A = this chain, B = another copy of it.
Amino acid sequence: MSLEDPIRTFLDSQIVGVLATRSASGSFHQSLVYYGRDADRLFISTETQRRKARDVRETGWASLCVMGHERPFPSVTVAGPAFVETDDIGVRTAALAQRMLGLEEAPEPQTDEALAGVRRVLIVIEAEHVGPSSYI
């Protein structure tokens, strides 16, 4: 599906969300993450051995709930097919570093080889399902 403009605008106005993933055994897991958006996909940087990356490899699905930080706490949950990427991830990883560190510009992108050396991968979520959302 295609994200509607108000949802895109809201997602672009925030930098963190709560990621939920599920293991093959059925247990689910939430954690705070910085995210970025690329058209109708959201991406998150993590290390390849982390629970969230393992879960995505096992079950191929993830959900991200993004909220505003003042009353009435606007929020949207985006969920869909998810996968772990290791190719061509330098620019997006640099964009996440910029958001995380609050830099004016993104740092120079690293090569995929350099990122593999520090176990960095991207989790990518296709925005197949949007909701619940409120106050957006």
A residues at B contact (CB < 8 Å)? 16, 18, 20, 22, 26, 28-32, 63-65, 67, 69-71, 73, 75, 77, 79, 102, 132, 134
Contacts and interface: CB of A to CB of B under 8 A. Distances in A.
Given A26-B26, A75-B32, A67 B16 contact: yes
Given A16-B73, A18-B18, A20-B20, A65 B32 contact: yes
Given A32-B73, A132-B31, A67 B20 contact: no
B32 A67 contact: yes
A63 B26 contact: no
Number of copies: 2
A20 B16 contact: no
The A contact surface, by secondary structure, is: strand
A24 to B, nearest CB: 10
A71 B132 CA distance: 25
Nearest to A20: B20
A108 to B, nearest CB: 23
A28 B63 contact: yes
A77 B65 CA distance: 14
A53 to B, nearest CB: 14
Contacts of A79: 30
Contact of A22 (B26, B67, B75, B77): B26
